Amino acid sequence: MHIPDGYLDLSIAGIFFILSFIVLGYSLYRLRSEKLTSLFGVLSAAIFAAQMLNWPIPGGTSAHFVGGSLAGILLGPYAGALAMAIVLTIQTLVFNDGGITAWGANVWNMAIVNVFLGYYLYQFLSKFNRNLGAFIAGWLGITVAAIFAGFEIGLSTSFAYGLSITIPVMGLWHAILGVIEGIITAGVVAYLATRRADLLEKKEVGRASFALIAVLIALSPIFAYFAEIVGYSEPLENAAEMLELEESPIYEGLLPDYTIPGLDPYIGTLISGAIGVMIVLMLAYAVRYARSSRKDT
């Protein structure tokens, strides 16, 4: 479900960066007075390790655990969202699993939608049946997160498939795989209930903040839709177009428009390209030289 770089339009990636920053920022604010560094750290590492378990599925394939809903149930939605965001950051910056521009969207899907939805589903359904609540939280949490991922990539013009393909593919596939997520979540919750029931107690969450985050989650597809309508292009080009300005350079440069005056434009572009690469190489060698002189001193 990790979206890599290049699949999302910058406008959509930007919107989800902002939305994720708002929710994670608020979560950090809510947890500011608690000494939780080690809890986040070690539990994030534990979620990361648990994600490596491969559960065999009849038919020869296997699936891995994501753990968003479980993080919400164990730690509460704010700490759970932060723990999942830590896992996703390590996956991006160490394993290149998920893109750096898509970090906001990945965090939104797996650390916010999955965790918050899983937590609230569990809180609501566990009043009737704890294990069933945990199963549905695990299953539906990951399925809805995948639908959000399908929405984000389907809305991006960079990715040629439309919403009619991306949402069903992501949603259906994860609804099937999500059954395992649900079973494991229920298994973990059942085990913890017999050993340390205190970990499953309801975490303190303000009603206003719950409402606000629920509204943000519900409206995020609309934000993304408008971001796509606005589109993205060079701000300076937009401004020039609005002001009906035309290009009138003071200095044309040595290689105007990547051509060499008097030469065939194709050959000129080729040579100017080669000159550009030479400059890059020279600068790179300068860095290397500077490094060796740093070593000497």
Partner 1 sequence: MHVVLEKTLKNASSYFQNFLIHEYGVRGTLHAIDARVKLLSSFSFVILAVSTFDLEKLLFLLISLLAVSTVLGVNLKSLFKRVWLFTVFSFIVVSPFLLQNPEYPFLFTLRVLITLISLQLLVMTTSFAEICFAMRSFKIPQLFVHALWLAYRYILVVFQDIVSILLARESRRVAKGSHRDLWKKGGEAIGLFFLRSIERAERIQLAMASRGEKIFEMRAKVGMLEIIYITLSAFIILWWLAL
By CB under 8 A, the residues from 183 to 212 that bind partner 1 are 183-192, 195-196, 199
Among 197, 239, 240, 286, binds partner 1 (CB under 8 A): 286
Return the range that interacts with partner 1 (CB under 8 A); candidates 54-62, 122-130, 238-246, 260-268: 54-62
β-bridge partners, 62: 56
CB of 284 to partner 1, least distance (A): 4
162 near partner 1, judged by CB under 8 A: no
Our CB check for partner 1 shows the closer of 10 and 205 to be 10
22, 26, 46, 212: which one binds partner 1 (CB under 8 A): 46
Contacting residue, 18, 219, 245, 281, with partner 1 by CB under 8 A: 281
Contacts (Cβ under 8 Å, ≥6 apart) of 69: 114, 115, 117, 118, 119, 121, 122, 134, 137, 138, 141, 142, 181, 185
Nearer to partner 1, 131 or 209 (CB): 131
Shortest spacing between CB 218 and partner 1, in angstroms? 26
The CB-of-137 to partner 1 minimum distance in angstroms stands at: 14
> Which residues in 59-88 contact partner 1 (CB under 8 A)?
62, 64-65, 70, 74, 82-83, 85-87
Residue 38 engages partner 1 in binding (rule: CB under 8 A): yes
Check binding of 173 to partner 1 (CB under 8 A): no
Residues 6+ apart with CB under 8 A from 143: 171, 174, 175, 178
Contact status: 44 vs partner 1 (CB under 8 A): yes
Please tell me whether residue 35 binds partner 1 under the rule CB under 8 A. yes
Give the residue, chosen from 48, 78, 116, 119, that forms a contact with partner 1 under the rule CB under 8 A. 48
User: Among residues 51 and 209, whose Cβ is nearest to partner 1?
Assistant: 51
Minimal distance, residue 46 CB to partner 1, in Å? 4
The reply to whether 54 sits near partner 1 by the rule CB under 8 A is: yes
- Measured from the CB atom, is 167 or 219 closer to partner 1? 167
Is 291 among the residues that bind partner 1 (CB under 8 A)? yes
Total residues interacting with partner 1, rule: CB under 8 A: 89
CB of 210 to partner 1, least distance (A): 22
Q: Is 230 in the site for partner 1 (CB under 8 A)?
A: no
Residue 12 CA to residue 138 CA, distance in Å, equals: 27
3 state SS for the chain: CCCCCCCCCHHHHHHHHHHHHHHHHHHHHHCCCCCCHHHHHHHHHHHHHHCCCEEECCCCCEEECCCHHHHHHHHCHHHHHHHHHHHHHHHHHCCCCCCCCCHHHHHHHHHHHHHHHHHHHHHHHCCCCHHHHHHHHHHHHHHHHHHHHHHHHHHCCCCCCCHHHHHHHHHHHHHHHHHHHHHHHHHHHHHHHHHCHHHHCCCCCCHHHHHHHHHHHHHHHHHHHHHHHHCCCCHHHHHHHHCCCCCCCCCCCCCHHHCCCCCCHHHHHHHHHHHHHHHHHHHHHHHHHHHHHHHHC
